[in-house]
């Protein structure tokens, strides 16, 4: 999350991906950096115990949203 915020501050479009239970933490981090409402993507939790196939499937489902957010520059 912090990496994405720092990239954005440096003028580089970025997307943070956060698992769902960490939404409030992502929002709090964005607020502490003076970027309340900063948009990030949420994915289901957990991910650490997934196999390669399941991880690839999740990543595939995410790609379009990542591209849309990066291209949108609507933040």
Partner 1 sequence: MSSAAEPDPASLIEAYFERGWTDGLPVVPPTEKSVAEMLAGAGLRRDEILGEIPGRNTVVVAEKVAINAALAGCRPEYMPVVAAAVRGLCHPDFAYHGPASSTGGSAMVLIVNGPIARRLGLNSGNNAFGQGWRPNATIGRAVRLTMMNVMQTRPGLLDRAVLGNPGKYSFCFAENEDDHPWEPLHVARGLSPARSAVTIYASNSLYQVYNQLAAEPEPLLVCFADALSNLGLPNVKGFNQALLVVAGEHTEILRQSGWSRGQVQSFLIEHTRRRVADLKRAARLPGEVTPADETAWRYFFEKPDDILLVCAGGRAGSWSACLPGWGNKWTKAVTTAIGEIP
Helix (H) or strand (E) holding 19: strand 17-19
CB 7 within 8 A of CB 75: no
Closest approach of partner 1 to the CB of residue 63, in Å? 25
- Tell me how far apart the alpha carbons of residues 22 and 31 are, in angstroms, rounded to a whole number: 14
Binding flag, residue 33, partner 1 (CB under 8 A): yes
Binding flag, residue 18, partner 1 (CB under 8 A): no
Contacting residue, 25, 50, 57, 59, with partner 1 by CB under 8 A: 25
Interface positions with partner 1 (CB under 8 A): 2, 22, 24-25, 28-29, 32-34
């Amino acid at each position: 999350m912090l990496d994405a915020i720092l990239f954005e501050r440096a003028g580089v479009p970025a997307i943070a991906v956060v698992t769902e239970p960490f939404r409030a933490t992502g929002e709090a981090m964005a607020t502490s950096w003076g970027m309340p409402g900063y948009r990030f993507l949420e994915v289901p939790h957990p991910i650490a115990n997934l196999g390669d196939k399941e991880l690839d499937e999740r990543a595939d489902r995410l790609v379009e949203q990542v591209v849309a957010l990066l291209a949108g520059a609507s933040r």
